[in-house]
Amino acid sequence: MRLGRLSLLLGSALLLVNGSGVLLAQEPAAMNTSQMKFGEFPGMPTCATGAVVSGDPSKGASIILAKMKPGCKFPWHWHTPNESVMIVSGQAEAQMKDGKAMPLHAGGFAFMPSKHVHRFSCSTACMLFIHSDVPFDMHYVDAAGKELTPADALKKVNETAAKPPAH
């Protein structure tokens, strides 16, 4: 089943590019990182940026190409969607609640089922694809599972939460 999901994800990455640098479904296409528009995502650490390359993470399934600076940390959290992460470059670490930390490097893969508490960090600059199967969200939690605000959760790991864009 995992191989089928990976095949679906990789197939989803070959989609149509529109003028905004976002891939749209149904048509074959290709895109390089120089064509992508990277930016901060509200509530995420400012040490991470991303470019939406497929879908719309606020409305449904999506693929994001993320860049994380060395030492960047996402503390304990969970998502409503199932999350698949594929490492393009760098050295990362994923840890599931009550599990051992797993070092990941280029070609590495992690799957976090819906609402499964985990954390993620990069010891070197990292680039990774993140696939979500429904609208993306982020719920930071403490050791007891109590939900925290992004600012409070990220402060505990010396990170700062990105602010929503000004309108």
Nearest-angstrom CA–CA distance, 122 and 92:
4
pLDDT value at residue 77? 98
Instruction: Give the pTM.
Output: 0.81
Q: For every one of its 167 residues, what pLDDT tens digit does the chain have, with 9 covering 90 and above?
A: 433 333 333 333 333 333 344 444 545 668 899 999 999 999 999 999 999 999 999 999 999 999 999 999 999 999 999 999 999 999 999 999 999 999 999 999 999 999 999 999 999 999 999 999 999 999 999 989 999 999 999 999 999 999 988 77
Looking at 10-149, which runs of residues are DSSP E strands?
16-17, 23-24, 48-55, 62-68, 73-78, 83-89, 92-96, 101-104, 109-112, 118-122, 126-132, 139-141, 147-148
pLDDT value at residue 29? 65
Residue 82's CB: how many other CB atoms inside 10 A?
17
pLDDT value at residue 11? 35
- For 34-155, give the CATH class: mainly beta
Question: Residue 30, class by beta-carbon neighbours within 10 Å (0-12 exposed, 13-18 middle, 19+ buried)?
Answer: exposed
- Between the CA atoms of 65, 67, 71 and 77, what dihedral angle is there, to the nearest 10 degrees? -30
Question: What does residue 150 show for φ and ψ, rounded to 5 degrees?
Answer: -55, -45
Judge whether 122 and 92 are in contact, CB under 8 Å: yes
pLDDT value at residue 165? 81
Query: What are the sequence ranges of the domains in the chain?
Result: 34-155
Judge whether 69 and 122 are in contact, CB under 8 Å: yes
